[in-house]
Structure 1
Amino acid sequence: MFPTPIQRTSAPVRVIYRIALPVVLLFWLLPMLAILITSIRGNADIIAGNYWGWPTEFKMVENYSEVFNPARSPMLLYLRNSIIITLPSVFFAVFFSAMAGYGLAIHKFKGRILIYAMFIAGNFVPFQILMIPVRTIFSNLDLLDTLLALIIFHTAFQIGFATFFLRNFIADLPMALVESARIEGATELTIFFRVILPLIRPALASLGVLLFTFIWNDFFWALTLVQSDAARPITFGLQALRGQWSISWNLIAAGSVVAAVPSILVFFVLQRQFIQGLTFGGVKG
């Protein structure tokens, strides 16, 4: 049913594995390595078409300084906007999804399966078809071109997947814990905050990392709901690094690295919790 561990396979298979793994890893990392190298190239290399060769001059300090040059682009403003958009969106999406998952997993009521199916079905809807309705709704609410619009949308948009994710973890918890708390006189809110949330902490951390990455890297909805620099996130603000007559690929690459750093840091800080969350409930005695 499960793949055979590589240590138990035959010698030829292990040799092929050890050769293929670094090769595949190199091809997978090649675009990222190219961006990192391009971010420290001088503009002369870009003009000469030296995209893949070793840089003839290193301009790391100059390129990254230019990224944060207010005369070229308000990158610090974009970075602040991304933080303001992402952190509340992740918090509210995880919190509301945990409450919804708790209700769907623990409480037995009519229509529970139908509601759960609606959460699942929402994940299969192509998000592009929502563009016009979402823009119309926020326009009628006079929220276009605001940070609040992106916070509200990302919170609502991620709740479907997050509820599906957390409901399964909560359903795997021993029901006896909830029943014991009820016998002791605990309210549903007390059970949720004091019993359920501590038990699913790895799942919450894992979900938080995923949602942070999804929301931080969003470009489509920023393009749909935002028009001015005042509310642009850093992913949408990278286009401001383009030159007037030519594209400064070295600056765009440097800006892309800056935009990717927060997601990478969040993953490495919560790496242990992320892995625990993915394997939580995977083994039962």
Structure 2
Amino acid sequence: MTAGRWATHAFLLVMALLWLFPLAYAVLASLRSYDYTAQHGYLSFGGFTLENYRNAWEQAGFTQKFLNSVIITVPAVLLTLALACAIAFVVARFSSRWNLVLLAVFTAANLLPPQALLIPVFRLFQRVEVPFWFSDSGTLLDSYWGLIIVNVAFQTGFCAFVLSNYMKTLPKELYESAMVDGASVWRQFWQLTLPLCRPPLAALATLEVTWIYNEFFWATVLMQSGDKYPVTSSLNNLRGQFFTDNNLVAAGSLIVAVPTLAIYFALQKHFVSGLTLGATKG
């Protein structure tokens, strides 16, 4: 093995340890009692207990908060991917001088910092009145659907950009054969394009679930009822008024991270294949 290869392996090993250290330390801290760490310090070893997980679940109200995250994340991801597929199909399969402009308009949402839109979005949602069966607040503010709309608006552009680039690589002969067989545009989209886009859709679904599930900024701004907060925002409940039990917060953070890890491992095969599309020729 050459010196350059040794240096590369050593660099990758060091970087891997640096990335794994915070996670390993969080796991260790979550398994230790606050009294033990207060007496012996956070660099000590001992005082192991599982009480932090039980206390974190009860204190943060994770049962309701996980349900809130499901209510927000699932519709947001499905709507985002559905809209992105439709936009990408139009941009990739139909030649028009407005294609690039259309894609740029949807992608522009990803270029704007959320903080710059805080005040106008908040006031807009405050003034838009909706039926009470749609939102018990009577407006989009403090509404699950308001948070879903914001997430869809910010994520659709990125997904449309990725899917359009993939759809452009699909052989045109497939669509020519489908048209000869009398397939309508809807059938070309539903029965031909979407099955072929399964790998990128799985990769995007994994990313979108992670991003929307972990979204904290808009949930804090647009939600005003404590019982509607998603699970990430409920971590604030683990902070005390005069001090913070870092071991308890570590346990709560690991509980919050479990669903995204489970989704990643469930879709790992499709996720990796979706990321490596186009990496090789042939």
Aligned-partner residue type, residue 254 of structure 2: V
| Residue 178 (structure 2) pairs with residue 181 (structure 1) | yes
Structure 1 segments of 4 or more deviating over 4 A? Answer: none
Q: Deviations over 1:106-136 (max 9, x none)?
A: 0112411211222333322222211112111
Task: Specify the SS of the correspondent of 1:123.
Answer: helix
Q: How does 1:1-285 map to 2 (within 5 A)?
A: 11-48=2-39, 50-54=41-45, 56-60=46-50, 62-69=51-58, 72-141=59-128, 142-285=139-282
CA distance in 2, matches of 1:118, 1:169: 19
CA distance in 1, matches of 2:103, 2:153: 16
Task: Specify the SS of the correspondent of 1:41.
Answer: coil
Identity %, equivalent residues: 37
Aligned-partner residue type, residue 43 of structure 2: W
Aligned-partner residue type, residue 160 of structure 1: G
Aligned-partner residue type, residue 76 of structure 1: T
CA distance in 2, matches of 1:124, 1:112: 19
Q: Deviations over 1:129-163 (max 9, x none)?
A: 11112111211121211211111211121101111
CA distance in 2, matches of 1:40, 1:282: 42
Q: Deviations over 1:148-188 (max 9, x none)?
A: 11112111211011111111001111111112111211111
Deviation at 1:74, TM superposition (A): 1.6
Aligned-partner residue type, residue 14 of structure 2: V
The alignment yields a C-alpha RMSD, in angstroms, of 1.5
Aligned-partner residue type, residue 269 of structure 1: A
Deviation at 1:283, TM superposition (A): 2.6
Is this contact kept in 1: 2:199–2:270, CA < 8 A? Answer: yes
Aligned-partner residue type, residue 205 of structure 2: G
Task: Specify the SS of the correspondent of 1:145.
Answer: coil
C-alpha distance 215-17 of structure 1, shift in aligned 2 (>3 A): same
Task: Specify the SS of the correspondent of 1:280.
Answer: coil
Deviation at 1:57, TM superposition (A): 0.7
Deviation at 1:244, TM superposition (A): 3.5
Name stretches of at least 5 consecutive residues in structure 1 with no aligned partner. 1-9
CA distance in 1, matches of 2:191, 2:125: 37
Q: Deviations over 1:37-82 (max 9, x none)?
A: 111110113423722332x21122x11111222xx33221111111
Aligned-partner residue type, residue 167 of structure 1: S
Name stretches of at least 5 consecutive residues in structure 2 with no aligned partner. 129-138
CA distance in 2, matches of 1:49, 1:124: 47
Is this contact kept in 2: 1:46–1:249, CA < 8 A? Answer: no
Deviation at 1:241, TM superposition (A): 1.3
Is this contact kept in 2: 1:135–1:144, CA < 8 A? Answer: yes
Further displaced range: 179-188 or 91-100: 179-188
CA distance in 2, matches of 1:182, 1:231: 48
Task: Specify the SS of the correspondent of 2:242.
Answer: coil
Q: Deviations over 1:220-266 (max 9, x none)?
A: 11111112222101110001112243212111111100111111111
What TM-score does the superposition give when structure 2 sets the normalisation length? 0.92
